Amino acid sequence: MAELGQEIGKFRLFGAFIRLLFLQGLLNRRGMQNLGLVSALSPATKVFDGFTDRTILLKHLSFFNCNPNFTPLVVGGVLKLEEEKRAGKPISDEDIEYFKRALTGPLAAMGDMLFIGNLKPLALTFACIFAIYKLPLGLLAVFLLYNIAIISCRLWGIYFGYAKGWELVDFFSGSEFQKVLSIVEGASASVGGVLLGVLFYRFPQNGQTTLALAGILTAVTLYLLRRDVPASWVAIILFPTTAFIALLIGQD
């Protein structure tokens, strides 16, 4: 029997990572992301002699839905458990299904909070600041950095999930990951404050009209936040609005 950790290998894990980039392309109403999950598992499970590839994959066709950026964590963990089961550890199909259910809900909520609720508004806020100062390369840099952050998280997730296995459940329910969320939330709030500072610094230099626009923009932002409008939607509203105001500044 082969030693644990030597079955799948980094190359096949990378293959699963590449397939997960197209996870949403297989979205369907009945199983949501289940076809994308099975597609990602397929190359790695072919190393499990004693089981047919079809047998392992069919049991993972049950309903599955998670934040796409955190799905690699689940896939890595599932591959680890399948490998340990094949090596003789007392792990049943029910245990692996429980592992998936225990992770997908919390990871979906955390992923939405981290990527949609914080990282995306953070990137859009930076984009607003670059638009005010008319720096097109800055806008491109924000776009690239946002996508690099997502790709890096997915690549890290597939290997980290495979390394941790069952320990993933404890890791994401512990205090360490909550600290990461707090840091990102603090960064988003700080950059939002910088944006308002830039607005109030720039607008008085361009007359009373732009100053009034700054006040209106701030009031609208506060109103939307107090009405529990998601921060991501506020950022999406702010981006074209601020870009338009930046054009007005450039004309003065």
pLDDT digits (tens, 9 = 90+) for 25-68: 888 888 888 888 888 888 777 776 555 556 777 888 888 888 89
Least reliable range by pLDDT among 14-18, 75-79, 101-105, 157-161: 101-105
Mean pLDDT, residues 93-98: 86
Taking the model in full, what pTM does it have? 0.70
pLDDT digits (tens, 9 = 90+) for 126-150: 777 777 777 777 777 778 888 888 9
Whole-number pLDDT of residue 230: 65
Q: Where are the chain's structural domains?
A: 9-100, 116-251
- Structure-block tokens of residue 155: 């690549």
Tokens 């500072």 found at: 197
pLDDT digits (tens, 9 = 90+) for 221-233: 667 766 666 665 6
* Confidence check: pLDDT of 188 > 60: no
HEC secondary structure over 32-82: ECHHHHHHHHHHHHCCCCCCCHHHHHHCCCCCECCCCCCHHHHHHHHHHHH
Name the nearest CA neighbour of 192 among 148, 149, 239, 226.
Answer: 239
Q: What angle do CA 191, 72, 152 make, to 5 degrees?
A: 40
